[in-house]
Amino acid sequence: MASIKISSKVEQAHWKALQDLAKESHQSISGLLTEAISDYVRKRRLRPVVMDHLEDSIQENEELGRRLAR
């Protein structure tokens, strides 16, 4: 997979924590950032799908919901 160079600003304390984690885990900062970005994107994309399924379920079971509310 092709890599690109990015530039961003982060709080100094977060940067230090990332550097410490990289040393502790014997990983590169680039590797940790790539993993973190991948996890973040996956989680953010999953939520709308889950919410769509929840909405569908609520609609399909609307009558049951009314009965349970009584």
Predicted confidence (pLDDT) per residue in 58-67, tens digit = 999 999 888 8
Predicted confidence (pLDDT) per residue in 19-58, tens digit = 999 999 999 999 999 999 999 998 888 777 788 888 899 9
Contact status, residue 19 vs residue 29, Cβ threshold 8 Å: yes
The full length of the chain comes to 70
Helix (H) or strand (E) holding 26: none
How far apart CA 49 and CA 9 sit, in angstroms, is: 31
The tokens describing 16, both together, are 């230090």
- In three-state secondary structure terms, 6 is coil
pTM of the predicted model as reported, rounded to 2 decimal places: 0.63
Domain boundaries, the chain: 28-69
How far apart CA 18 and CA 35 sit, in angstroms, is: 12
